[in-house]
Amino acid sequence: MQTLTQSRFRYGNGIRLIDDSGVEYLDAVSGTFNLSLGYNHPHIVEKVQEQVGNLTHMSSSFTEPYVNDVLEKLTEIAPNGIDAGWMRDITGSTANECAVKIAQKYTQSSDIISLYLSHHGQSQFATGISGNAFRRKKFPNSAAANSVHVPAPYCYRCPFNSSGPNCGFQCIEAISDHIEYASSGSVACMIIEPILGNGGNIIPPEGYFERLRKLCDEYSIILIADEVQTGIGRTGYMYASELFNIQPDIITLAKGLGGIGIPVAAVLMQSRLDVLEKHEHSFTSGSNLLSLIAAKSTLEVVSEPGFLDEVKLKGEILRELLHELAPKYKCIGEARGVGLMWGLEIVDSQGAPDVVKANAIIERAFTDQHLILRGSRYGLGNVVKVRPSLTVTTDELVEITERLESVLQSVN
Ligand code: PMP
């Protein structure tokens, strides 16, 4: 029997992975949520292969025309006057650092507000601004010194024990208290994930982002939407900011932008925020041509007429399937999600987070059902995620849920 870490996969196609003994697995989480178009999507493969034979990399001093091709497409459909961008990053972590640098340079302020349970990356800085206390404790670092964490809008486990549409948004109140108390006007930015992905697929309640935007305006705080997970069609919209009407000042992207897992990242902003000099944030392998070609061809696919409508439709089918499944199993406290970004909150008989069971589900799914799921180690650890590639078929959605149900029957 193979375990998750021992497997050597040889080939992938769509949401399917084949290991070296020819056994096929269904990847229900698009790699690390980054293979937005699945394994070996033919259009991206063709364009990247073509590029390999021409030029794979140049100094970023010469890549502007290629960068502009991608930025043109990204900004054409971006929300709220976002019309400029920066593509010298390879990862989401440094894209977030770039966004914060922009905000700090523009505002000449230092502090960064982020949410508990947020995850903004693994670099020293991104760990510091991420809202996972146990991780920061392991790596005490200077970045955490000017970053402030505020309660997440986690309605299922409301940090204020409130509930319902008239909860009073104490989670927003807590932010304003913090601004007033902590900073005397020195907050540069607030960084949020439209859906807290690794924190547990947490979806803020209606009205949350409207209040957040108002608060940021009141204190002249730059609002950064980390769309590393939610961007490029994951929710059925190109940007989750559009779905939730967030109106961010800056959007960061990575993961799904590379289509078939090619590393690439982007920072989009309103042109007033286009303040960085070239030498202030760039990396040797940034603006890599293969990355830029992958991004460009991914956008060609995602913006084909009807593509996102189909993602929305498939998202509704997945919603129905998971909402039908969840009430049958006591260990599922809640199935929540939007588009093709779903999480199952696994609970014990008292409703407390059941991390052991969540891990058992993931492990058994792999060994017994050849179904690849992922957990939420950066959150409370009890949310099992389902996030297939945007190219998943409806039959495959049914297949994923059937295999998941077999696992649940064996662990419930
Ligand atoms: N932001 C979010 C929301 C993420 O989920 C991640 C990665 N899991 C990152 C940032 C960091 O991206 P990367 O791993 O490419 O550095």
**Residue 302 beta carbon below 6 angstroms from any ligand 1 atom:** no
The mean-pLDDT minimum among 132-136, 196-200, 311-315 falls in 132-136
- The whole domain housing 89 covers 47-302
Examine the fold and report which residue of 302, 317, 338 is the final residue of a domain before the chain moves on: 302
In this structure, are 285 and 356 located in the same domain? no
29 domain residue, yes or no: yes
365: how many CB neighbours lie within 10 A of its CB? 26
**Nearest CA, atom 7, ligand 1:** 121
**Residue 93 beta carbon below 6 angstroms from any ligand 1 atom:** yes
- Average pLDDT of the segment spanning 387-410: 98
What pTM, to 2 d.p., does this model score? 0.97
Does position 392 have pLDDT exceeding 80, yes or no?
yes
**ipTM of the complex in this document:** 0.99
211 domain residue, yes or no: yes
Higher pLDDT, 128 or 329: 329
- Average pLDDT of the segment spanning 216-224: 95
The mean-pLDDT minimum among 118-132, 243-257, 344-358 falls in 118-132
Q: Quick one: three-class SS letters along 192-219?
A: ECCCECCCCCECCCCCHHHHHHHHHHHC
In this structure, are 337 and 228 located in the same domain? no
pLDDT digits (tens, 9 = 90+) for 137-166: 777 765 666 888 999 999 999 999 998 778
Q: pLDDT value at position 208?
A: 96
Q: pLDDT value at position 412?
A: 73
Does position 183 have pLDDT exceeding 70, yes or no?
no
Does position 61 have pLDDT exceeding 80, yes or no?
yes
4 domain residue, yes or no: no
- Cα of 191 vs centre of ligand 1, distance in Å, is 13
Beta-strand relationship, 16-19 and 9-13: antiparallel
- Cα of 263 vs centre of ligand 1, distance in Å, is 11
* Best of 98, 228, 230, 252 for a ligand 1 pocket test (most atoms within 8 Å of beta carbon): 228
In this structure, are 14 and 83 located in the same domain? no
Output the DSSP codes for 226-260. E-TTTTTTTTSSS-HHHHHT---SEEEE-GGGGTT
CB proximity list for 217: less than 8 A, separation 6 or greater: none
Q: Which of 77-91, 183-197, 287-301 is the most confident on average?
A: 287-301
- Cα of 33 vs centre of ligand 1, distance in Å, is 10
Does position 176 have pLDDT exceeding 70, yes or no?
yes
In this structure, are 244 and 160 located in the same domain? yes
Q: pLDDT value at position 360?
A: 97
Examine the fold and report which residue of 286, 302, 318 is the final residue of a domain before the chain moves on: 302
**Residue 229 beta carbon below 6 angstroms from any ligand 1 atom:** yes
Q: pLDDT value at position 37?
A: 98
Structure tokens at 79: 């929300």
The CATH code of the domain that includes 264 is 3.40.640.10
pLDDT tier at 186 (50, 70, 90 boundaries)?
confident
* High-pLDDT (> 70) share of the chain, %: 96
- Cα of 249 vs centre of ligand 1, distance in Å, is 19
Q: pLDDT value at position 137?
A: 73
Quote the number of domains for the chain.
2
**Nearest CA, atom 10, ligand 1:** 120
H helices of 22-149, in order, are: 30-33, 42-52, 64-76, 92-107, 124-129, 133-138
- Cα of 266 vs centre of ligand 1, distance in Å, is 12
Q: pLDDT value at position 124?
A: 87
Does position 63 have pLDDT exceeding 90, yes or no?
yes
pLDDT digits (tens, 9 = 90+) for 320-340: 999 999 999 999 999 999 999
In this structure, are 335 and 256 located in the same domain? no
Higher pLDDT, 131 or 17: 17
The CATH code of the domain that includes 335 is 3.90.1150.10
CA-based torsion, 95, 101, 107, 111: positive or negative: positive
pLDDT tier at 184 (50, 70, 90 boundaries)?
low
* High-pLDDT (> 90) share of the chain, %: 84
The candidate with the shortest Cα–Cα distance to 401, out of 317, 334, 333, 345, is: 317
**Residue 197 beta carbon below 6 angstroms from any ligand 1 atom:** yes
177 domain residue, yes or no: yes
- Average pLDDT of the segment spanning 384-399: 98
- Average pLDDT of the segment spanning 166-194: 86
pLDDT digits (tens, 9 = 90+) for 279-313: 999 999 999 999 999 999 999 999 999 999 999 99
* Cα(202)–Cα(319) distance, integer angstroms: 15
In this structure, are 156 and 128 located in the same domain? yes
310 domain residue, yes or no: yes
